[in-house]
Amino acid sequence: MTISQAQLRTLNLLDKKPACRVYRSNRTGDYSWVHDDTHISLTPTLHRLFSSGYAMLSPGNRNVAILTEKGREVVAVRGGC
Domain regions of the chain by residue span = 1-53
What is the structure's pLDDT at 64?
98
What is the structure's pLDDT at 52?
96
* CA proximity to 14, closest of 77, 57, 62, 60: 57
The total number of residues written for the chain in this structure: 81
What is the structure's pLDDT at 26?
84
Report residues of the chain scoring pLDDT below 70. 1, 79-81
What is the structure's pLDDT at 65?
98
pTM over 0.85: yes
| Calpha distance 59→81 (Å, rounded) | 28
Report CA Rg, the chain.
12
